[in-house]
Each structure stands twice: as structure tokens, then as C-alpha cells.
Amino acid sequence: MKTANRWILAAIILSALSTYLTAYTFEAHSIAAGHIFRWNGETWWRTSPSGSLFPWPKKPGMLEALSKVNDVDLFIYSYLIESWILVVLTVLMWGLVSICVYKAVKELQRNKTRQEDVQ
């Protein structure tokens, strides 16, 4: 029963992390697509004050003026959003959740079979 409980706990924790990562990915992609662009080799927010992609994506202000993307947001945009690595990580996390749920169900069925054999 201990092994099944561990798989269930792992599935719950990974589900929570995967849900957060999914929401973050969706929000970051939608904000980046509408508010960030590259021009002359530099990355800019379309409006000011600048928005943010960390710790949670936030839209920029309403003033029609370019504002430079900071280093953290540039890293997230360049290496995680444009390359679609964030989406791949989200899919992999949900794959891990599926494996944990499968293992937990399998272990619970095995424990149930053992209990029936004892009786």
C-alpha cells in the first residue's frame, strides 16, 4: 500500500505543477504573440510601461511607445517561447502525470488482488 500512496502523492503534486505550467504557458504565449516583437535585432514591448513574463505574465501598459524587454523576459521569450520548449515541457509534465496515475492504479489493483487472495 505504501508504493501506491507514493504514486498517488506524486500524481497529485505533478498534476498541480502541470496545471500551473499549462496556465503559465498559455498566458505567456498569448502575451508574447500580441505584445513582443523583434526589430533591428532587438526585442521590444509594443507599449509602455513594459510588461513582464516572470514570475507571472503581465501585459504592458497602454501608452503607445516602445519599451525594451529586460534580460529575464528576453531569455524566456527567446529560449522558451519562440523555440516552443515551454509547450514541450508542458506536454512532458502531463505525460509524467499520466505515468504516475497509471502506476498508482496498477499498484492499487495489485494490492486488491493480494487482499482477495489472503481472504
Residue 42 is part of which domain span?
Answer: 2-114
Among the listed residues 26, 29, 69, the one whose alpha carbon sits nearest the alpha carbon of residue 47: 69
Angstrom distance (rounded) from CA 33 to CA 37 = 8
Angstrom distance (rounded) from CA 37 to CA 46 = 7
Would 26 be classed as within a structural domain? yes
Would 54 be classed as within a structural domain? yes
Would 119 be classed as within a structural domain? no
What are 63's three cell numbers? 501608452
**How do the pLDDT tens digits run along the chain, 119 residues long?**
688 889 999 999 999 999 999 999 999 999 999 999 999 999 999 999 999 999 999 999 999 999 999 999 999 999 999 999 999 999 999 999 999 999 999 999 988 887 777 76
Angstrom distance (rounded) from CA 3 to CA 10 = 11
Would 11 be classed as within a structural domain? yes
Q: What is the pLDDT of residue 119?
A: 66
Would 37 be classed as within a structural domain? yes
Q: What is the pLDDT of residue 7?
A: 92
Would 48 be classed as within a structural domain? yes
Angstrom distance (rounded) from CA 79 to CA 3 = 37
What is the domain count for the chain? 1
For residue 43, give the 3-state DSSP assignment: strand
